[in-house]
Amino acid sequence: MVNLLSGLFLFLLSMHCFVACLASNTKNITTDKYALLAFKSLITSDPYDILANNWSTSSPICSWVGVTCDERHNRVYGLNLTNMNLRGTISPSIGNMSFLVILDLHNNSFGGQMPKEICWLRRLKFLRFSMNKFVGEIPAALGELSQLQYLRLGINNFNGSIPQSIGNLRRLKLFTVVKNMFSGLIPQTISNMSSLEYVGFSSNYFSGTHSFDIKCVIYDISLLHFI
């Protein structure tokens, strides 16, 4: 009897933890809303008042400019704020937008480092931070974004070396880092990436020689279409 009771007690205890832990891990559209508000709070300049006027807490986030939602999961699917002349840094909260597939901040003045929390976004397919003012090293955990197809970091001030883990991105089709301050060796694992069609490494401080068996190597930064 004692064993039965203590067994029952342990069972209830574990159920309680199961339910409580599940609830605290459950993300929903409200998680996305907090993440976007945190993102907005670190924008220091919005000259056209795009987010200031449009990202209003009284309207649903899926109607906010640059935000698209996945109707099936009712979560944010895309954040596209290209060409808006925004200045600021990227809130680590972005890592909580767990259904994000597209993150496009091309052609703004975002600075600071790429938050490592971006590597939590396991559904991400398109990451474009090109033509901004980002600095510092890119997180090695980027190599865990197994769905990534486009990684476009050209025309920034990123430095350090390209992490070896990039070679794990089996679905990557386009990888550009042109016109940054990257140094060190370009990881040889790049040659093993079967989906890779375009790479751009020019205008950095890489050392050593490298040769790639890749369809198109971009040398010309005027090919903005690929940056």
Please name which of 192, 119, 188, 191 lies closest in space to residue 151, comparing C-alpha atoms: 119
Q: Is 214 left (phi over 0), alpha (psi -120 to 50) or beta?
A: beta
| 68, 88, 120, 189 from 60: Cα distances, Å | 11, 24, 24, 43
Nearer to ligand NAG, 165 or 202 (CB): 165
Task: Report in angstroms how near the CB of residue 3 gets to ligand NAG at its nearest.
Answer: 36
Write the CB contacts of 1 (distance below 8 Å, at least 6 apart in sequence): none
3-state secondary structure of 67: strand
Task: Report in angstroms how near the CB of residue 143 gets to ligand NAG at its nearest.
Answer: 12
Nearer to ligand NAG, 3 or 222 (CB): 222
Residue numbers of the site for ligand NAG (CB under 6 A)? Answer: 23, 26, 28-31, 53-54, 56, 59, 63, 65, 80, 82-85, 92-93, 95-96, 102, 104, 107, 117, 126, 135-136, 159-160, 167, 188-189, 192, 224
Nearer to ligand NAG, 11 or 112 (CB): 112
Nearer to ligand NAG, 10 or 224 (CB): 224
Task: Report in angstroms how near the CB of residue 65 gets to ligand NAG at its nearest.
Answer: 4
Nearer to ligand NAG, 1 or 62 (CB): 62
Q: How many angstroms separate the CA atoms of 133 and 88, rounded?
A: 10
Q: Is 203 left (phi over 0), alpha (psi -120 to 50) or beta?
A: left
Task: Report in angstroms how near the CB of residue 1 gets to ligand NAG at its nearest.
Answer: 38
